[in-house]
Structures are given as C-alpha cells and as structure tokens.
Amino acid sequence: MIQEDELQTAAHGFFADALRLLSESEIPFLVGGGLALRQYTGIIRDLKDLDLFCKAGDYPKILKFFADNGFATELTDVRWLAKVFRNNYYIDIIFNTVNNICTVDESWFEHAVVGEAYGVPVKFIPAEELLWCKVYVQNRERYDGADVNHIIVKYGHRLDWNRIWTRLEQHWHLLLAQVILFQFVYPTERDLVPRWLFDTLIERAKGQFDMPLPVEKVCLGPIIDQTQYRTDIVDAEYKVVTIKTV
C-alpha cells in the first residue's frame, strides 16, 4: 500500500517539475494558495494541489505550453479557472475569483514577493491580494477567516493597508467584520490594524443609516458563499445580479 508521505513526495515532485518548466517559458505567473500563506505566515500545510495565478490573457499560453509538454489541460471555468494534470495530481491556473471580483492584473506582479517553492525561485502573490481573495471565502465547506487573521498577526506590520482599503472599500462590511474578528481573536495585537482604518470603517458603518435603503431587493450572500444563499435567490427572489436596463 502506498503511504501518505509517498503520495506527498510524488505530488511535490510534480509541482517542482511544473514550476521549473513554467519558469523556463517566460510566461509571467505567481504562486498563491497554501504556499503563499506559508510565505507570509510560516504555516505549513500538506498541499494536494498547487495554485498559480496569471493574467486572463496569459492562461491560454500557459495551457498550451503545458499541453505541448505532455500535460493534460482543462479550461474548467472560462470566468476564472483552468487546470493542468499529470497522473493524479493537478495545478490550478487562476486568473480571477469565482465571484469575479479579484481579477489578476499587472499590479499583482508589481507588488509580488520573491521567494522559493520546491527549490524553484518564484514570485508569490502579494500578501494584500492574498488577504483580499481570502476575505470572500466564507463557505460552509471552507472558511478562510482564520487564514486572514494569521496573515494580519504574522505580517500585519508590513501590509499596505491603503491598498487593502482600496481593494475592499466597495465591500467594507466584510473588512469591518474581519477586523472585529481579529480584535476578538488577538486582543493584544489590536494595533496591527491601523487606527485610521478602524475609524474609517466605524464611520462608514454609522453613516450607512443616513442613506436610504436600496430600492432593489438584493442578497450579496453568493459573493462569499456560492451554495448556502441559493434559497434566497431562487425561492425568496432576492437579486445578486441585475439583468435589465436601468
């Protein structure tokens, strides 16, 4: 019987080979997922896949490159995800998020951090974009709030909070909720989140009551959980997108 550590060794060998090969292609990509989390927090997890990020215009080049080198490829979801396979292992090629919010653009590369993965020199997605993506992962099956807290507690003193605010201002409720959760989990580390940001979020929360209620009956739940709010959209007729001219 094949032991779990043997499977991990085989998977890591596959990831290392793929990273070396793709690095030689000169197609720009960034490493994300569990490896990026380890880069910024030191938390080590057993990884069953590898998350690589690229701009939307580059994923066809990456798929073709791997296909030309004997890998199986799949365009899983044209909106955000493709995959590369060999044997029982796979790599996610990510160019957006499932909610179509965290689109990979040139700024991700401008702020990327240089490091190493499986012995291969690589660039990791910025900590700010890693946090940004994870704030929206609040499924019943997977909740990344603890990851966000660990990014803040381990790397918060180096985060560009202005950029985080720019990324999340539209959905400031989520950032406020995460900040409050962080303060609960780490009361002695409260000051890692700058006071100006907390004050801005609190003022935004108070100011919303001076605004009229939205006219459209909206549920934004599917932005953070793609399954549990189905009943609100299908049965209760809330809207998550507007399909009409306004």
Percent composition of the chain: helix, strand, coil (DSSP 3-state, to 5): 50, 15, 35
**Reduced to 3 states, what is the DSSP secondary structure of residue 208?**
helix
Q: For residue 5, what pLDDT band results from cuts at 50, 70 and 90?
A: low
Element spanning 75, H or E: strand 72-77
Q: pLDDT at residue 1 above 70?
A: no
Q: For residue 245, what pLDDT band results from cuts at 50, 70 and 90?
A: low
Question: Taking the CB of residue 206, how many other CB atoms lie within 10 A of it?
Answer: 9
Q: Delineate the domains of the chain, giving CATH numbers in brackets.
A: 1-125 (3.30.460.40), 128-211 (no CATH), 214-246 (no CATH)
Q: pLDDT at residue 3 above 70?
A: no
d(CA 20, CA 235): 49
The CA-atom distances, in angstroms, between 40 and each of 9, 54, 128 are: 23, 20, 10
144-170 confidence digits (pLDDT tens): 999 999 999 999 999 999 999 999 999
Q: pLDDT at residue 92 above 80?
A: yes
Neighbour-count burial for 50-67, b at 16+ CB within 10 Å, e otherwise: bbbbbbeebbebbbebbe
**Mean per-residue pLDDT for 48-69?**
97
Element spanning 144, H or E: none
Instruction: Find tokens 């997922």 and name the residue.
Output: 33
How big is the CA angle at 51 (ends 78 and 223), to the nearest 5 degrees?
A: 55
d(CA 53, CA 84): 13
61-85 confidence digits (pLDDT tens): 999 999 999 999 999 999 999 999 9
Instruction: Find tokens 């809330």 and name the residue.
Output: 238
